[in-house]
């Protein structure tokens, strides 16, 4: 079975770090990366387009980001 690739992105580093830590605990065989900066997120998504993306964001404050990621 292939390794699950997971990207955790958020603008609040304590929340992002905590979620990434939980992912690593509950999915120990996964390849989990976390980032707090948009350019790094876009770079990770271009390298791993099939990765699961976990967003630690407040929807009303990041509406334009959601539209951009939809493409």
Tell me what pLDDT residue 25 has.
96
Q: What does the alpha-carbon distance between residue 53 and residue 69 come to, in Å, rounded to a whole number? A: 10
pLDDT surpassing 90 at residue 61: no
Asked, for residue 36, whether it belongs to a domain, the answer is yes
Q: What's the sign of the alpha-carbon dihedral 43, 46, 48, 51?
A: positive
Q: Return the closest-CA partner of residue 33 out of 68, 12, 69, 19.
A: 19
Asked, for residue 56, whether it belongs to a domain, the answer is yes
What pTM, to 2 d.p., does this model score?
0.85
Asked, for residue 1, whether it belongs to a domain, the answer is no
Token pair 């609040």: residue: 12
Asked, for residue 3, whether it belongs to a domain, the answer is no
Asked, for residue 58, whether it belongs to a domain, the answer is yes
- Which range of residues forms the domain containing residue 33? 9-70
């Amino acid at each position: 079975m292939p390794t699950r690739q997971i990207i955790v992105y958020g603008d609040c580093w304590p929340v992002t770090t905590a979620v990434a830590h939980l992912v690593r605990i509950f999915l120990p065989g996964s390849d989990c990366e976390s980032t707090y900066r948009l350019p790094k997120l876009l770079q990770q998504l271009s390298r791993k387009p099939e990765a699961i993306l976990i967003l630690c964001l407040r929807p009303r404050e990041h509406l334009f980001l959601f539209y951009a990621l939809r493409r």
